[in-house]
Amino acid sequence: MVHILRNRVDEVGPRNILPEPRINSIHEADISLRGIYEISKILTAPTRLEITIANVVNTLSSFVQMRHGAIVVLDAEAEPEITATTGSSHPPQIGRIIPQAAIDRIVATGAPLVIHDVSKSELFQTDFQPSSSGDTIPIAFIGIPIKAEHEILAILSIDRVGDGETSSPCDEDVRFLTMVANLVGRTIRLHHILSMDRQRFIEEQRRPEKWLDEKRTDPAGHRHVKIDGIIGESPALKQVLETVSVVARTNSTVLLRGESGTGKEFFAQAIHKLSPRGKKAFVKLNCAALSESVLESELFGHEKGAFTGAISQRAGRFELANGGTLLLDEIGEISPAFQAKLLRVLQEGELERVGGTRTLQVDVRLICATNKDLETAVVNGEFRADLYYRINVVPIILPPLRERAGDIPRLANAFLDRFNKENHRELAFAPSALDLISQCYFPGNVRELENCVQRTATLARSRTITPSDFACKNSQCLSSLLWKGADRSHGGNAIDELSQRDTMPVRRIGAPEGDITPVKVVYPNDPASPAMGPHLTERDRLTDAMEKAGWVQAKAARILGLTPRQIGYALRRHGIEVKKF
């Protein structure tokens, strides 16, 4: 069974030493139990795997007669990955301790390998050098597979001076080493699981940064940022996405501006998810839907008994968003009196609950959204100038859908796919139907387009949606009547003053401070508007874009918000011959 060495293992030389007489079985069992106990203590110690298996190999020499010992941890391809040895004056080379042929045999059979004289085995021929001289002392070898969940993870081996006989003096040692191998196998598997969990955690922590770094470059050298859930390839949207990817890395306050239905809340969530605060809370509040007293309680919280109905203490939205992001939608609708209270929280980062006296510290990244012209509100005294400068740190103007004409078919198909999944339908747009809605103005922007798709899909008579299925073809589109009847030169529920200016001052990403580029704004009734001109067909718009691009398909694709491949397909479908100069 188990043998006790009187001398250190590494002091055993190539002398003609015979195994010591075996002791009684009771004593051997006691030694085995002590060996398992000592090894189990090593395996449960909080150390690296390399150190753990090295300590196990060194401890084996106290309980098993051996000259050399090794544990070889295998990788997924059954190749040596980690090696721990003992009893050898040579560096830990695999071939000197256990040949690759022996490893392959153990892995293939999944069973222990016992060789009473390695000089007579074909597995031990090349680099295996159990002795340093040319004597003929027989060397015995024992190799045990280390398994976990029926998978061979490593090999445990020892060699020692043998008697060359084929009797089974090694059987008891094989049983002991097999027990050790079972314990080691569970430890190796646990280390592998912990390593995978650690790597997964690191990847999850770095995922927002990787998401931001995944940029595409078009033939013109422009960087394009892709954010999951935001659909579109138009130049106007790409510029916003690039701004979002840069702003998200900081804690700067963001002011999202745009007409109703342009997706301000969705972009706010994207900024939060891409930011270092992405794991924390994202809290939102619509300021226009609440009175001043209720708004104060919602944002700052209240103490028990602060007012009628305050039956318990309640945390406000600022507290709930502590460490995360707070979105204040319709920020332009709050009263001047409440603006002063909000300004103090933004400047000092502290607040008191309604009816309370204790000052609370909060760390919140603020994102505000509005469709109101705040500049005019400041001039008219309706909005505090100091609060305006506090929230207008990084303004992002979201483009209306009429400036993203090429994105309308993509959005429409995405909304139809969602409708199909929710209602177990299999509807699809006919090309002429997509051509029709691409010409619509959509004053309600993406929200109106989604409603239009859902209404049309609900009332569609067949699986293919055609132009006749749309309300505008049946004189039932109330949105178009509302838009035509509105006086767009005198107010409205969009950021009217911004949309009535000939140009908007915009600072491009990466441009120096003060480098302002004027961007022309398309009027609703301007023939250049992509949503105007229902009389224009897809062929007409395609031809017009190609002429403006000098018949360069890549440039025409950027004008229409399409890909060069889609432009080429459309040219062939409409039979348009490309002019060459």
**pLDDT tens-place string over residues 511-548:** 444 444 443 434 444 444 433 444 456 787 888 888 88
Say what the pLDDT of residue 369 is: 93
Say what the pLDDT of residue 14 is: 39
Question: Which CATH number is correct for 536-581, 3.40.50.740, 3.20.20.120, 1.20.1600.10, 1.10.10.60?
Answer: 1.10.10.60
Nearest to 374 by CA among 365, 366, 383: 383
Tokens standing for residue 463: 């699986």
Say what the pLDDT of residue 524 is: 42
Distance between CA atoms of residues 255 and 391, nearest Å: 6
Q: At what angle do helices 49-60 and 171-213 cross, to 10 degrees?
A: 170
Q: At what angle do helices 264-274 and 171-213 cross, to 10 degrees?
A: 140
Question: Contact 45/65 with Cβ under 8 angstroms?
Answer: no
Low-confidence ranges of the chain (pLDDT < 70): 1-29, 88-97, 126-136, 163-169, 202-226, 228, 310, 478, 480-537, 581
Fold classification of 401-535 (topology level): Helicase, Ruva Protein; domain 3 (1.10.8)
Domain with CATH 1.10.10.60 in the chain: 536-581
Fold classification of 9-194 (topology level): Beta-Lactamase (3.30.450)
Q: Is the dihedral of CA 118, 124, 128, 134 positive or negative?
A: positive
The dihedrals phi and psi of 304, each to the nearest 5 degrees, come to -65, 130
Say what the pLDDT of residue 396 is: 93
Say what the pLDDT of residue 104 is: 84
Distance between CA atoms of residues 427 and 353, nearest Å: 52
The DSSP annotation for 142-193 comes to EEEEEEETTEEEEEEEEEEE-----S-TTHHHHHHHHHHHHHHHHHHHHHHH
Distance between CA atoms of residues 84 and 71, nearest Å: 5
Question: Contact 548/557 with Cβ under 8 angstroms?
Answer: no
Say what the pLDDT of residue 542 is: 85
Domain with CATH 3.40.50.300 in the chain: 223-397
Going by the DSSP 8-state scheme, the letter that residue 523 receives in this structure is: P
Going by the DSSP 8-state scheme, the letter that residue 119 receives in this structure is: G
Say what the pLDDT of residue 216 is: 47
Nearest to 53 by CA among 90, 81, 12: 81
Tokens standing for residue 260: 């109703």
Tokens standing for residue 179: 């027990």
* Contacts (Cβ under 8 Å, ≥6 apart) of 217: 223, 224
CATH number for the domain running over 223-397: 3.40.50.300
CA angle 282–283–285, rounded 5-degree value = 145
Domain with CATH 1.10.8.60 in the chain: 401-535
Burial, 234: exposed, middle or buried (Cβ in 10 Å; 0-12, 13-18, 19+)?
Answer: buried
Tokens standing for residue 266: 């969705």
